[in-house]
Structures are given as structure tokens and as C-alpha cells.
Amino acid sequence: MMTHRCESPTLGFTHLQCEALLTAARQSAYPCDFAMVAMLGLLGLRIFEATGADIADLGERHDHRMLRVCGKGTKAVLVPLPPAVARAIDQATGARTGGPILQNSRGARMDRHAATRRLRHFAESCSWLRISRPPPPPTALPGGPAVSTPGERPVLPRGRCAGALASRRLRT
């Protein structure tokens, strides 16, 4: 019998890495953090699906807790909630009867950018798991010297400080 391997180019976490993320999120002061990581890791939702879920999307069917998820192309799918995820969502929603499941610290809906930042924070809090951004190119370091090869124009830094840095260089 031949086994089928998924050939997806998307990388995922191992079981232990997912457990470490869940543990880090469980220790957070905000209950929405644990609910977010549980929805992403245990239900396999995309970030925009988790952040777009409302309390009104929760329900029961055949004695099972369900979450109606709007996926890509506005396809609505009912996802059964494991007990751990249901408890995490209950803690995140508290006594609220409407609105988003995942809220930010101001009480508004958590957007996908904030969810990505929170997930990156939990991943970096695990000492063995590093999600890092690529380093900037050496020619565009803000405040650094202009880099050029002989016979070329110097490359000046861009951004908010570029004008001040360029004028400082011209004065010297």
C-alpha cells in the first residue's frame, strides 16, 4: 500500500512546536491570544478566517459545538469545535453575546496584522523557534555610510531620515 505525502510548498509547525505555541499563548494575559492560537493550530483555520469569526457564528448541531467559518470565496463551512478550542473561545468571549470572537486590547476586532504580530511574538518567545525577518540590504542601512564601488554614484538611505542624513553628508 502506497502512502500519500502532501506536496504543499507551505511550511507548517511540528506537533511539538504547536504545543509550545499553545503553552506560550495560554500563559498570556489576554484570553484572546490562546483562542487565536487554538483556532489556528487545532482547527487549521487561516488568519483571516479566525479574525473574521463572530460570536453569532457559534452554534450547536447534533450535540456538537460548531463554528461557521467564512473561507476563501465567501464559502461558509461548519467546523466542529474540539473541547479545548471551545473552552478557549468561551474564555475569550466571556459574557459577551455579540461581536468578534478575537478582540484586540482596545476591544475592537483583531485584524490579521495584529494576529500575525501576536503569533510572531509567541513563536519568538519559544527559545528554539525563531521567526525572523530578512536583514535589510547593506546598501540601504539607515544612518550608515553610503556604499558604492569606485566609479559609481553613492547609494543614499531612503525613508523618513533620508533628507536629514543627506543634508548632513553634504555639509561635511
What residue ranges do the domains of the chain occupy?
15-125, 139-171
In the structure grid, which three cell numbers stand for residue 1, read together? 500500500
pLDDT tens column, 39-80: 999 999 999 999 999 999 999 999 999 999 988 888 899 999
The per-residue pLDDT for 36 is 94
The per-residue pLDDT for 103 is 93
Is residue 164 scored above 70 in pLDDT?
no
**CB count in 10 Å sphere of residue 153:** 7
Residue 147, φ and ψ in degrees, nearest 5: -105, 130
d(CA 4, CA 2): 7
Transcribe 4-56 into DSSP letters.
PPP--S-----HHHHHHHHHHHHTSS-HHHHHHHHHHHTT---HHHHHT-BGG
Q: Average pLDDT in the 21-30 region?
A: 89
CATH number of 15-125: 1.10.443.10
The helix/strand/coil state of 159 is coil
Is residue 165 scored above 50 in pLDDT?
no
